[in-house]
């Protein structure tokens, strides 16, 4: 009887895990099948004001319409932004400590309703918490979380963990993304004997385009602690972050993978606080891809042992490639997903790219059932 009970428990656990997105080597799996995450970035309706403070009800019809259109086109994943740079959430005290997810107490239910809505259309959601691509943190709220450990812990305890707990195990949750393009706020040209913190290799690569604010030690701790917190609340949840260019996320091409397990653990000290998959962004410059772009390399060129998603790209800066070619290239060159930018502005052509690959299965199924 005991053996039978144990076998039943194991079977139930396997069934439950198979219903959620998981990582297997360099690929994603869902319902015991390899899948390719084809989709796009919404990424907001009202910048930094889509969730919390009774804001969701105003934007839900537009977001649900975009989810429906993405599903209709054959896509399966959508990336949306949550706090951005703390313009409207979470709630802060006057001294910069987080006291609640938002001022009016609606953010948790808003995220839950977003996932419930996506579930109806078999679409996975990637909530991106923070943004480093611009410098508009005039109140220094995000800055406090990055540089002050006590303030970061207040966010984790008062906002992040409650948010993760609210949607723990949700089938429409693809992954939590900690931050978008932190390189925009990193200080270039910092020499450090620890390669994880040294930015000399990226001094002339464009790092710090928005502002020179953060050292890698602080940013990596910021990511490590939040990733570990997500795992503590929901061990089955996946965690990622989005880099502006593969240059900061590989040890090949003469670069340094600052977001390796070793670097994140070194900076933050939390063993569980690592990424489950990597996410590269790629835009051409003067109609040319750089030599590190995913659109001139196969995924194997980066020497990474996790899935890689091409998390941002668009036709405006694509070295002449159209959207069908971009989605096809990512699908056929070892990547585990492709999310175009952005659906509100350039939705029709991007959805056409999703439709172009929707029936493929040799490198992972695109059609999913949640």
Q: What is the pLDDT of residue 12?
A: 44
Annotated active-site positions, please? 181, 312
Q: How much is the pLDDT for 74?
A: 98
Tens of pLDDT, residues 226-239: 999 999 999 999 99
On whether the CB atoms of residues 126 and 77 are closer than 8 A, the answer is: yes
CA distance 296 to 307: 17
Q: Are strands 27-30 and 239-243 parallel, antiparallel or unpaired?
A: unpaired
pLDDT at site 3 = 56
Q: What is the pLDDT of residue 202?
A: 78
d(CA 308, CA 294): 10
Q: Is this structure's pTM higher than 0.85? A: yes
> Mind listing the pLDDT tens digit for each residue in 56-112?
999 999 999 999 999 999 999 999 999 999 999 999 999 999 999 999 999 999 999
Q: How far apart are CA 78 and CA 84, in angstroms?
A: 16
Q: Please write the tens of the pLDDT for every residue from 290-331.
A: 999 999 999 999 999 999 999 999 999 999 999 999 999 999
Domains of the chain with bracketed CATH: 24-357 (3.20.20.80)
Predicted local distance difference test score (pLDDT) of residue 2 = 54
**Paired strand residues for 338:** 38, 310
What pLDDT does residue 18 have?
Answer: 60
Per-residue pLDDT band at 204 (split at 50, 70, 90): confident
pLDDT, one tens digit per residue, over 57-66 is 999 999 999 9
């Amino acid at each position: 009887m005991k053996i039978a009970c144990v076998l039943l428990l194991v079977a139930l656990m396997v069934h439950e895990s198979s219903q959620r997105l998981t990582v297997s080597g360099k690929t994603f799996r869902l319902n015991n099948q390899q899948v390719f995450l084809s989709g796009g970035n919404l990424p907001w309706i009202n910048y930094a004001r889509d969730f919390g403070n009774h804001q969701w009800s105003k934007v839900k019809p537009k977001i649900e319409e975009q989810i429906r259109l993405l599903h209709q086109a054959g896509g399966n994943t959508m990336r949306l932004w949550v706090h951005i740079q703390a313009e409207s959430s979470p709630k802060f005290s006057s001294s910069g400590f987080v006291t609640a997810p938002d001022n009016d107490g609606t953010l948790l239910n808003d995220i839950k309703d977003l996932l419930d809505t996506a579930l109806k259309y078999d679409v996975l959601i990637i909530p991106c918490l923070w943004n480093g691509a611009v410098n508009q943190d005039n109140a220094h709220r995000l800055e406090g979380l990055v540089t002050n450990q006590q303030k970061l812990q207040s966010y984790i305890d008062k906002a992040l963990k409650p948010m993760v707990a609210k949607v723990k195990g949700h089938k429409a949750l693809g992954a939590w993304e900690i931050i978008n393009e932190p390189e925009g706020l990193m200080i270039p040209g910092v020499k450090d004997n620890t390669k994880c913190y040294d930015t000399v290799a990226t001094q002339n690569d464009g790092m710090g385009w928005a502002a020179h604010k953060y050292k890698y030690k602080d940013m990596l701790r910021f990511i490590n602690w939040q990733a570990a917190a997500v795992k503590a609340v929901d061990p089955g949840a996946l965690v990622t972050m989005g880099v502006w260019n593969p240059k900061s996320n590989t040890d090949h091409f003469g670069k340094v993978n600052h977001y390796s397990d070793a670097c994140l653990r070194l900076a933050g000290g939390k063993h569980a606080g690592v990424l489950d998959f990597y996410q590269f962004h790629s835009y051409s410059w003067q109609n040319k891809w750089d030599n590190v772009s995913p659109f001139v390399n196969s995924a194997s060129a980066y020497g990474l042992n996790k899935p890689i998603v091409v998390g941002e790209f668009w036709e405006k800066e694509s070295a002449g490639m159209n959207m069908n070619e971009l989605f096809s290239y990512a699908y056929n060159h070892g990547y585990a997903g492709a999310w175009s930018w952005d659906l509100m502005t350039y939705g029709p052509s991007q959805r056409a790219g999703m439709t172009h690959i929707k029936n493929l299965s040799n490198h992972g199924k695109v059609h999913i059932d949640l």
